[in-house]
Chain A
Amino acid sequence: MTAAVIVFPGSNCDRDLAVALQQATGQTTTMVWHKDASLPQGLDLVAIPGGFSFGDYLRCGAIAAKAPIMRAVVDFAQRGGHVLGICNGFQVLIEAGLLPGALMRNAGLSFVCKTVTLDVVTTASPFTQDYSPGGQVNFPVAHHDGNYLASQDQLKQLADQDRIAFRYVDNPNGSIDNIAGVLSANRRVLGMMPHPERASDPALGGTDGAALFQGLRGALTLA
Chain B
Amino acid sequence: MKARIYVTLKNGVLDPQGAAVKHALGTLGFQGVEGVRQGKLLDIELAATDRAAAEAELAAMCDKLLANTVIEDYRVEVLSE
Contact = CB atoms under 8 A, between A and B. Distances in A.
Interface of A: 58-59, 62-63, 66, 95, 101-102, 104-109, 147, 149-151, 174
Nearest to B66: A58
Contacts of B65: 58, 62-63, 66
Contacts, number: 33
A109 B16 contact: yes
B66 A105 contact: no
B13 interface: yes
Contacts of A66: 64-65
Contact of B16 (A58, A101, A108): A108
Contact of A102 (B20, B66, B68): B68
A58 B7 CA distance: 10
A149 B71 CA distance: 8
Given A62-B68, A104-B14, A109-B20, 20 more contacts: A58-B65, A58-B66, A59-B68, A62-B65, A63-B65, A66-B64, A66-B65, A95-B68, A102-B70, A104-B71, A105-B17, A107-B14, A107-B16, A147-B16, A149-B13, A149-B70, A149-B71, A150-B70, A151-B70, A174-B16
B10 to A, nearest CB: 10
A174 B14 CA distance: 10
10 contacts: A59-B68, A66-B65, A102-B71, A105-B17, A107-B14, A109-B17, A109-B20, A149-B13, A151-B70, A174-B16
Q: What range describes how many residues of B lie at the interface?
A: 10 to 19
Interface of B: 13-14, 16-17, 20, 64-66, 68, 70-71
Nearest to B64: A66
A188 to B, nearest CB: 22
Q: Interface SS of chain A: helix, strand, loop or mixed?
A: loop
Contacts of B13: 104, 149
Residue among A59, A63, A151 with max Cβ neighbours from chain B (10 Å): A59
A74 to B, nearest CB: 14
Q: By CB atoms of chain A within 10 A, which of B17, B20, B65, B68 has the most?
A: B68
A32 B21 CA distance: 41
- Sorted from nearest, which 10 A-B pairs have the closest CB atoms? A102-B70, A102-B71, A109-B16, A107-B16, A102-B68, A105-B16, A109-B20, A59-B68, A105-B17, A66-B65
